[in-house]
Structure formats: structure tokens, C-alpha cells
Amino acid sequence: MNWEFNESFARDLDAKDPLGDYRNRFYIPKINGEESVYFTGNSLGLQPKTTRSFINQELDDWAEFGVEGHFHGKTPWFAYHKALTKASATVVGAKESEVVVMNGLTTNLHLMWVSFYQPTTTRYKILCEAKAFPSDQYVMESQAKFHGFNPDDAIVEVSPREGEHCIRKEDILAKIEELGDSLALVFWGGVNYYTGQLFDIKTITARAHNVGAKAGFDLAHAAGNVELKLHDWDVDFAAWCSYKYLNSGPGNVSGVFVHERHGDNAELPRFAGWWGHDEERRFLMEKGFVPTKGAEGWQLSNAPVFGMAAHRASLDIFEEVGMDKLIEKSRLLVAYLEFVLDDVSSRNENCNFEVITPKDTAERGCQVSVLLHGHGKGLFDKLTALGVISDWREPNVIRMAPVPLYNSFEDVYRFGKKLEASL
């Protein structure tokens, strides 16, 4: 496409956008009385306008039925988590039996590690990406220590090559082969939170299995953003949050994937809770944990209904739109943002921006991370004051995510104009 950095061009793209009307189904924060350019859906997605009605329904059922809401509400609370399963499975490319929504992301990762990190004296290594999200780093460190290993020895990182920002796939695969039968678990982020690099989950998983290791993924920055086919890719486990691209509210519930070959294995080690017990016998209150088949067998407690109601409001929109259409628009938005960045940079002598997110659309989602050579946080602060809500990461990177559900091409144009004004 022959891009143009002008308002009429951006508005024309919006007029032709089949998803354009979905913007009106979200609340857009305002700064100085004007709709902001909200480019931080990779940190916290915007609120769907239906969220309030979904939560109010559960408040009404609580008021009307009290505890009987577990069985007589519009969506009975006893099985409320099941109302989220179909859409969640579609988002991550799974069978419904392989998915459950529960707890928070890091809690769920620890629960998955109980089952899938079973180190021995010779097979105990953990392979991960350098500069993994801090919570993932802490999971790895604490799990290694819990099993009696020194994290500095057990955890092996793959880094970008000198002078590069992203990690080469061939380096990941080579390190898996090098570790061989000492490797217990490959634990990777689907999309790196810092650079926005999307990794080849299918190939990484296959290579891990080739050497006898398990493969698990933190999909916090991938779910609702990129194409996922967790079942077909033979992933062992994955977990993701719902408050970034899935627009379900701050700190809200997490999703879990457990491949069906593990889901029916009652002998697999796990930490147990009563909501993961065989649901036909759950209220008999008897000793002896018998897990429900599938991912639901990893549940601990009954559903936090109000948070799940907010999540359901967003998932309904995802189910209506479909990931294919979202990804198609996402690629156009990101391409236009790159064009605008290049255009502004080329016309400003005091501007030197480097996009550190891969150019290949197969290696990125909708996040664009920009290294600000010669500029500090002052430029980010100027953009914020002008109404651009983006994300700063030390030492010198602005992360921006034009999200296809609610961002427009005019948003990208307006960002470009505000960037010029900031410079």
C-alpha cells in the first residue's frame, strides 16, 4: 500500500475498515477534553461498554437469590467458568476441554510448574529468553530453589546476538540441542514484552519434545493479539492474563491451557483444590482428590464471578469478531504506524528512532517498541501531556500497541502529529 501521512488518508482507511464500528463499543480515555491516542492495550486494555451490565447482572442475582445464585442465577455461579471456555479456546487455538479460566497469571504458572517441571539430578535445566518478564523470572528462580537447585546453574538464557535486539530462532533451537537430555523445561514468552518479538511456538515446542523436555509458554502478550494454535502445536501448557489485549479489567483472571494428553492423566503431580475435584462428587465433601478431566482438574477455588463477568463481556466481542479479522487489521495498523514513524523521523533532524520490533509480520503482533536514540524520558512525558497514552520501559524504549478492536488509523495519524509537536 502507498501510505500517506495526512488526515484525509487516515480517515479514508477508517471509512473502509470493516471493524471500525467496534471502537464505539469501548470507553476511550480523554486528556484535556480530547480522546486520547490510547496505545497501551498491551498493558491494560480498554473497558467494553457492556462490562457494567455484565457485572450488574451478577449483582442483581446476588441481591435476588443470595447463595442460591449458584444454581438459579441467569448464569449459575456453580459453573460460571464454563461460560468463558468456548471463546477462550478459540482465542488460543485449543479444544474446550484443554482450557479453563481461574486465578491470576503467575499463580497459574506456578500451578503448571508443579505438574510439568519434574527435575532429576541429571535433567533439571530450564531454558528461557533473556529479558523475560520479571514475574516469569521470579517463577523460574523460586521453582529452581524449591527443587534444591541453584538458579544460576539451572536457568539457561538465550540472548540476542551482539548489536541485535531480538533473539534468533536458530539460536534458540541450537541451545535446546546443546542442552539435550539435561533439559527439563523450555519456558518461553509467546511475545516478548520488551521488544514485541513473536516467537515460533510450534517449532520451539517440537524441538523441546525431540530432546525429551516439556514446553510451556507465558502468553500474556500473545493471547488476543496473535494467531495461536496451542493444541495443533502440541504445547504442553500455557497461561495468559485477561487484562491486556483481552480487555477484562486490571488484575483480572487468567486462562490456562493443558494439552489433552496431560488433562486426563490423574497421576500427574499437581496442587489440588475442591473446584478441581470430580464435579459430580464435589459436594460430597469426601477425602481423596479425584481430578475433573481436562484443564478444569487444575482448578483450586470456585469462580470469582464479578471478575469473570467482566472477562465475559470482552470475550463475547472476540467471539463475534474472530481472531483472523483482528490480525488482518492489526498488521495494517502496525504498518501504518511504522510508516508514520519513518516519515516524521526523516523530516526532523533531531530525531533518531529505531524500531526494535521485528519487521516480519510473522514475528510480531500489534506492539511496536521504539528505541529513542538521543532522547530520554522527556519525549515520552511530552507525548503523554499531549494525549498519547503509551508505555515507557527503561532504559530508553517507548512501547506502543495500536489495538485493532478500538484503535483507528486516525489514531496513528494523530500520534504522528503529536510526535512532531513534541520534537
Q: Is 66 exposed, middle or buried (0-12, 13-18, 19+ CB in 10 A)?
A: exposed
pLDDT of residue 114: 98
Domain limits, the chain: 7-47+323-422, 53-321
CA distance 292 to 36: 46
The three three-digit cell numbers of residue 251, written as one number: 488484575
Nearest to 408 by CA among 41, 32, 2, 1: 41
pLDDT of residue 283: 85
Question: Is residue 96 within a helix (H) or strand (E), and if so which, with residue range?
Answer: none
pLDDT of residue 244: 98
pLDDT of residue 240: 98
Nearest to 400 by CA among 373, 369, 360, 361: 369
Q: Are 316 and 247 in contact (CB under 8 A)?
A: no
Contacts of 258 (CB under 8 A, 6+ apart): 98, 112, 115, 236, 237, 294, 295, 298
pLDDT of residue 239: 98
Total residue length of the chain? 423
Topology of the domain comprising 53-321? Aspartate Aminotransferase; domain 2 (3.40.640)
Q: Are 388 and 412 in contact (CB under 8 A)?
A: no
Summarised one tens digit per residue, pLDDT across range 5-60 is 999 999 999 999 999 999 999 999 999 899 999 999 999 999 999 999 999 999 99
User: What single-letter amino acid sits at 405?
Assistant: L
DSSP string, 156-213: EEE-PPTT-SS--HHHHHHHHHHHGGGEEEEEEESB-TTT-BBP-HHHHHHHHHHTT-
Q: Is 388 exposed, middle or buried (0-12, 13-18, 19+ CB in 10 A)?
A: buried
Summarised one tens digit per residue, pLDDT across range 194-203 is 999 999 999 9
Of the CATH numbers 3.40.120.10, 3.90.1150.10, 3.40.50.2000, 3.10.450.50, which one belongs to the domain with range 7-47+323-422?
3.90.1150.10
The three three-digit cell numbers of residue 202, written as one number: 510450534
Nearest to 358 by CA among 189, 156, 199: 199
pLDDT of residue 419: 93
The three three-digit cell numbers of residue 275, written as one number: 473446584
Residues of the chain scoring pLDDT < 50: none
